[in-house]
Amino acid sequence: MSTSLLQVQDLSVYFKEAQGTKQVLNKVSFSVDRGQTVALVGESGSGKSVSALAIMGLLPTDLAEIEVNSQINWQGNNILHLAKEQHRKLRGRHIGMIFQDPMSSLNPVMSVGEQLIEGIQLHLGLSARQAYERAIALLTEVGIPEPERRIHAYPHELSGGQQQRVMIAMAICGEPQLLIADEPTTALDVTIQRQILELIKLLTKERHMAVLFITHDLALVGEFADQVVVMRQGVVRELGDTEHIFKEAVDSYTKALLLCRPSLTHRPLHLPVVEEMMMMKSDRNTASHQEERQRGIRPTDEMVMRVRKVSKNFVQQDGLFKRKDFFAVKEVSCDIYRGKTLGIVGESGSGKTTLGLMLSGIIPMSSGTIEYHEELKKLEGSPALIQIVFQNPYASLNPRFTVFQILEEPLLLHRPDLRVEQRAEEVVALMHLVGLNESMLSRYPHEFSGGQRQRIAIARCIALKPTILVCDESVSALDVSVQAQILNLLQDLQDRFNISLIFISHDLSVVRYMSDEIMVMYQGTVVEKGNSDQIIAHPQQPYTQNLITSIPKGYAI
Amino acid sequence: MTSQEESMISSFSPSLWALARKRLARDAIGLLSLLVVVFFILMSLGSYFGFLAKNWDQEVAINYAPPTWLATNQESVSALQAPIPPRSQIDLYGQTDPLAPLLDELEAHNPQDINSPPDQQKVNHLVFGADKWGRSVILKTIKGSETSILVGLVAALVATAIGTVLGALSGYFGGWVDDFLNWFYNVFTAIPYLLLIFAIAAVLNQKGVSTIILILGLTGWTGVYRLIRAEYLKHRHREYVLAAKAMGASHYRRMFIHILPNTLHVILVQLSINVVGFIKSEVILSFLGFGVPVEVVSWGSMLNEAQNELVLGIWWQLVAAGVAMALLVTAFSVLTDALRDALDPKVVA
């Protein structure tokens, strides 16, 4: 083929800031051929979404500046010089786009049918009757059950996966030749993610549509992308066929990205970290050279917490007088051993977060008992016994407190014996413990990156040297490379202070890496529980098996 | 520990207010508004302690002396300078004034009331004119600021404090506390505003500045309550509050140390709206006869007088009180706005 469908050449974009400009894209070049799936992979701040917005012509003109020499060629014509009106016609009709969060991309006060029909009429100029039939056909195509009924549904009546399907239907309603998918599965559960990916794969095949797939997860794209573009800090680090990227990556960053994600087969003592790997510049695969960490509960291990038949139910009004119980968590039992990790896996709605909050004493249990080890009984109800690290480091730190105030708080509350200087010393020691510099103490949380914030949250939790630390999806909001750093940090702290971890996550590979024991939860109940290697290697329950097969496996060899 | 280390550690914890001070110092408009507000407060304090406008009630000019710096209108001056016969007892055809002895006694006690400077000594124009009794409008405005600023600021502080505390309790605890306070709020707002003011005024049964402050403070908290309650509802399940709970922070600490600074933007805006509103309310109350007593001057009473004068083309009292009020109110709004920005660490100054 002489010209590609889309060719991006030397795309440089600057953002205007208070002082001067900041370059966010530096001579980015790649191309998408007809019917091809190209994956744009990079961490937050790599410029992958900016590239997509530039292609769509959706960059805010008052903030962003595109360099004059940049080219975005659509079938050979540079679309950067198109008038707004022409660009608008290109969007939707020729290029469709799906966004990360389907809930906020759909208008909550319009039924999905209305939104879909609006797009169809706009792009194809069909009559209302024809557009309605077309909408039904599209919903059927994207795999919505009972489309005649669902077309009248409002977005909140659909599940996350169904919402994303509707978004895909809207994106393809103008029969575009290119579909830009910006992190379309990040907000979804693993099993749903798999279904959506299968759907996109199917649609590209049937419609001979090209896809530009933007994601931070390299492993995700291995199975279905034809080409992979790895970006970092606005620069294309490596570009090539998927096979090439996964098997013989040249760039150290690409290699680091591939290795820093915990796998289901290896458990190195430490996860490789991007910075370290890029510093070394060596070709050898460091992960395979590392010693494997041995996991599992030994009979000699000391039990610190015995959880028996813990439930949480919410009473729901059912009709005028009837009430019915909804169990968020139902009769969960587990044991926590000193210095060991219990991993809790489940999809959203499985009750794993509720369980974590109950175990850490933030919300009361409806029924059940928690018993502690003899020595810990005196600590019962004290924060020095159990602490919790939350999922979102952006929400769990008070935005009006400095880091010093945040870290000082637990000491202020529970160590009245300390003098002011001792507290300050203690805080500085905590900062060093989590790998941060004490010069950052006077800053506010928003000045930190996600990984640094999570380090601060962890430092706050270990200030009182708790026996048990609950990590509720603590690494889910982070980039893969940062995730590896935080996992290493948690591991270090566990080794050093012999802390028992309760590690809650939807990501099975992360849980397997961290845990001695795994508990799989589904709709509030424990489906399967056992030694982590055992569960992953030989899952007994169909639900667990389904979860395991849904994990992105990277490039299928 | 060396002194350097000590200073380093003490600099670790610049509080929100220290940061705000630094940021406010960089905000030229905010600083200007702060100066204006401080100027007004100093002015009212000065008049309260008798440094300023002490002799505001002296009738130094002829009534309604026009505002001017130039000595114009020579004829009228000469006409006024014509000798006025001294006051004498009117011949009442043999009848004696039954009040005469009483009047004499009063005059003997308060000579300044009677021996007001004769009109010959009164000036016929003032820098910003005079009122009906020939008192300087400028001094009157300064004296009036005392009442108005006191009423506006203190009543707004009272109302905002009540609203914030009730809103915090209601939003933070939820449940029956919230139900009860909501019920109270609903009942309170269901009563027509003026009727409520009259009711409270009737109960207090005395006129004066403190009464006005109480009336406005006790009735003005509802708007603040509603907004603060909503803020607390939003914040109480935030992860940072849960984290504080996991840390063992008490309810009080979570409510007022953790959440309150995060609602400051709402509180400050409400405070500024209330100050403005209450300065105006004082006018309405004075007009309705529930305001300050006759012998006390306020911007409200000045505006009240001005409505009769305006028909006669005498505008200076209205302008003086209006400009003073507009200046203060604008400066106060701008200041709270600047404060709100300065108190939000996320806003890049």
B346 touches chain A (CB under 8 A): yes
pLDDT tens digits, A518-540: 999 988 899 999 888 888 888 89
Q: Is residue B62 one of the residues assigned to a domain? A: no
**Residue B5 — pLDDT band, cuts 50, 70, 90?**
very low
- The pTM of the full predicted model, rounded to 2 decimals, is 0.80
Task: Specify whether the CB–CB gap between A84 and A60 falls below 8 A.
Answer: no
Selected residue with higher pLDDT from A180 and B7: A180
Chain A residues near residue B238 by CB distance under 8 angstroms: 395
- Please report the DSSP string for B33-60 in residue order: HHHHHHHHHHHHHHHHTTSSSTTTTS--
Task: Classify residue A246 as left (phi > 0), alpha (psi -120 to 50) or beta.
Answer: alpha
Q: How confident is the model at residue B158 (pLDDT cuts 50, 70, 90)?
A: very high
> Angle at the Cα of B256 (from B254 to B261), degrees rounded to 5?
105
Q: For chain B, first and last CA: distance in Å?
A: 35
B102 within some domain: no
Please, are residues A36 and A210 in contact by the beta-carbon 8 Å criterion? yes
Nearest Cα to Cα of residue A208 among A33, A52, A90: A33
Please report, for the domain that includes residue B259, its CATH number. 1.10.3720.10
Residue B94, domain member (yes or no): no
Contact yes or no for A468/A502 (Cβ under 8 A): yes
- Per DSSP, A81 falls in state G
Instruction: Using CB atoms, pick whichever of A388, A405, A424 lies closest to residue B246.
Output: A388
C-beta atoms of B240 and A405 within 8 A: no
List chain A residues with CB under 8 Å of B14: 402, 442
Q: What is the phi/psi pair of residue B151, to 5°?
A: -60, -50
Tokens of B84: 């006025």
Nearest chain B residue to A458, by CA = B243
How much is the pLDDT for B156? 92
Contacts for B47-54 with beta carbons within 8 Å, 24 or more apart? B47/B142, B47/B143, B47/B145, B47/B146, B48/B146, B48/B150, B52/B142, B53/B139, B53/B140, B53/B142, B53/B143
What letter does residue A30 receive in the DSSP assignment?
E
Size of interface A-B (CB pairs under 8 A): 86
Smallest CA–CA distance, residue B263 to chain A, in Å, is: 10
Give A369-411 as a 3 state SS string: EEEECHHHHHHCCCCCCEEEECCCCCCCCCCCCCHHHHHHHHH
Read off the tokens for B135: 């008192």
Indicate the helix (H) or strand (E) that contains A335: strand A323-337
Instruction: Compare A262 and B167 and report the one with higher pLDDT.
Output: B167
Q: What is the mean pLDDT of residues B254-277?
A: 88
Provide φ and ψ at B160, rounded to 5°.
-65, -40
CA–CA separation, B122 vs B59, rounded Å?
8
The one-letter amino acid at A421? E
What pLDDT does B14 receive?
56
Nearest residue to A460 via CA among A385, A391, A379, A397: A397
Query: Hey, are the CB atoms on B248 and A414 less than 8 Å from each other?
Result: yes
Query: Are residues B246 and A405, on separate chains, in Cβ contact within 8 Å?
Result: no
Q: How far is B345 from chain A (nearest CA, A)?
A: 7
Element (H, E) at A367: strand A367-372
Alpha-carbon span B123 to B53, nearest angstrom: 18
* Residue A551 contacts residue A193 (beta carbons within 8 Å): no
pLDDT value at B98 more than 80: no
CA-derived radius of gyration, chain B: 27
Q: Which two tokens stand for residue B16?
A: 């929100």
Which residues 209-248 of B are in CB contact (within 8 Å) with A? 238-240, 242-248
Residue B238: closest CA among chain A residues belongs to which residue? A395
Q: Beta strand A210-215 with A178-182: parallel, antiparallel or unpaired?
A: parallel
Tell me the per-residue pLDDT of A316-368, one tens digit each, with 9 for 90 and over.
777 777 777 888 888 899 989 988 999 999 888 788 888 998 988 888 888 88
CA distance B310 to B169: 49
ipTM exceeds 0.85, yes or no: no
First to last CA, chain A: 28
For residue B73, tell me if it sits in a domain: no
Residue A306 tokens, joined? 């015995």
User: Does B124 score more than 80 pLDDT?
Assistant: no
Is A427 at the interface with chain B, CB within 8 A?
yes
Please tell me the predicted confidence (pLDDT) of residue B117: 55
> What ranges make up the beta strands (E) of B116-232?
none
- Percent of residues, chain A, with pLDDT higher than 90: 9
Lowest pLDDT segment from A136-150, A232-246, B64-78: B64-78
**Residue B86: pLDDT band with limits 50, 70, 90:** low
Q: Which amino acid is at B30?
A: G
pLDDT at B11 over 50: no
Is the CB of residue B11 less than 8 Å away from at least one CB of chain A?
yes
B chain contacts of residue A415, beta-carbon cutoff 8 Å:
none
Q: Which residue of A18, A395, A442 is in closest CB contact with B240?
A: A395
Sign of the Cα pseudo-torsion (A100, A102, A108, A112, in order): positive
A456 — pLDDT class (breaks 50, 70, 90): very high
Name the band, by pLDDT with cuts 50, 70 and 90, for residue B310.
Answer: confident
Q: Which chain B residues are within 8 Å of A427, Cβ to Cβ?
A: 12
E strands, A392-484, in order: 468-472
Is the backbone of residue A439 left (phi > 0), alpha (psi -120 to 50) or beta? alpha
Q: In this prediction, what percent of chain A has a pLDDT beyond 70?
A: 96
pLDDT of B3 over the 90 cut: no
Looking at residue B113, what is its pLDDT? 59
Domain membership flag for residue B320 = yes
Residue A451 has pLDDT above 80, yes or no: yes
Report the residue of B3, B234, B238, B247 to disrupt the A interface, i.e. the one with the largest count of A CBs within 10 Å. B247
Q: Is B46 on the interface with A (CB under 8 A)?
A: no
pLDDT, mean over chain A: 84
Beta bridge partners of A367: A311
Sheet containing strand A323-337, strands side by side: A323-337, A303-317, A367-372
Please tell me the total count of domains within chain B: 1
Are residues A357 and B242, on separate chains, in Cβ contact within 8 Å?
A: yes
In the predicted model, is pLDDT for residue B283 greater than 80? no
Cα(B194)–Cα(A394) distance, integer angstroms: 46
Pairing of strands A227-232, A235-241: antiparallel
The verdict on a CB contact (< 8 Å) between A421 and B6 is yes
What is the average pLDDT score of chain B? Answer: 79
Mutation choice for B interface testing from A362, A363, A387, A400 by most B CBs within 10 A: A400
Pick from B334, B328, B331, B219: nearest CA to B269: B334
- Helix, strand, or coil (residue B138): helix
Express each pLDDT in A177-186 by its tens digit: 899 988 888 7
Question: Would you tell me how many other CB atoms lie within 10 Å of the CB of residue A543?
Answer: 19
Asked if residue B74 belongs to a domain, the reply is no
Q: Is A360 on the interface with B (CB under 8 A)?
A: yes
Establish if A382 touches chain B: CB-CB under 8 angstroms: yes
Burial degree of A350 (CB within 10 A; 0-12, 13-18, 19+): buried
> What's at A28, amino acid-wise?
V
CB A12 within 8 A of CB A70: yes
- Best CA proximity match to A343, nearest among A529, A527, A477, A490: A529
- pLDDT beyond 60 at B74: no
Q: Is residue B264 part of a domain?
A: yes
| pLDDT tens per residue across span A373-424 | 887 777 777 778 888 998 888 888 988 888 888 998 888 888 888 888 888 8
Tell whether B70 is covered by a domain. no
Residues 6+ apart with CB under 8 A from A141: A169, A203
Q: Which of A113-117, A160-164, B204-208 has the lowest mean pLDDT?
A: B204-208
The reply to whether residue A424 touches residue B238, judged by beta carbons under 8 angstroms, is no
Q: Identify from B3, B11, B239 which residue to disrupt to test chain A contact, counting A C-beta atoms within 10 A and taking the largest count.
A: B239
- Low-confidence winner among A42-46, A256-260, A291-295, B264-268 (lowest mean pLDDT): A291-295
Specify which residues A337 forms β-bridges with. Answer: A303
- Residues of chain B with Cβ-Cβ distance to A388 below 8 Å are 242-243, 246
* Confidence label for B308 from pLDDT (cuts 50, 70 and 90): confident
DSSP class of A473: S
Residue B156 CB neighbours (<10 A): 26
Q: In DSSP terms, which residues pair with A71 in a beta bridge?
A: A9
Higher pLDDT, B10 or B313: B313
Report phi then psi at A16, rounded to 5.
-80, 135
Measure the CA–CA gap between B311 and B315, rounded to whole angstroms: 9
Residues in chain B with CB shorter than 8 Å from the CB of A18 are 348
Interface contact B17, partner A, CB < 8 A: no
Nearest chain B residue to A408, by CA: B13
pLDDT tens sequence across B134-144: 788 888 888 88
- Is a pLDDT exceeding 50 seen at residue A426? yes
Shortest Cα–Cα distance, A396 to chain B (Å): 4
Amino acid sitting at position B17: W
Report the distance separating Cα B286 and Cα B288, nearest Å. 5
Instruction: Nearest chain B residue to A442 by CA: give it.
Output: B12
- Closest chain B CA to residue A446: B346
pLDDT for the residue B227: 94
- Residue B152: domain span: 15-56+135-343
Task: Give the mutation candidate from B242, B266, B268 for the A interface (greatest A CB count, under 10 A).
Answer: B242
Stretch A218-242: mean pLDDT: 86
Tokens of B311: 């028909």
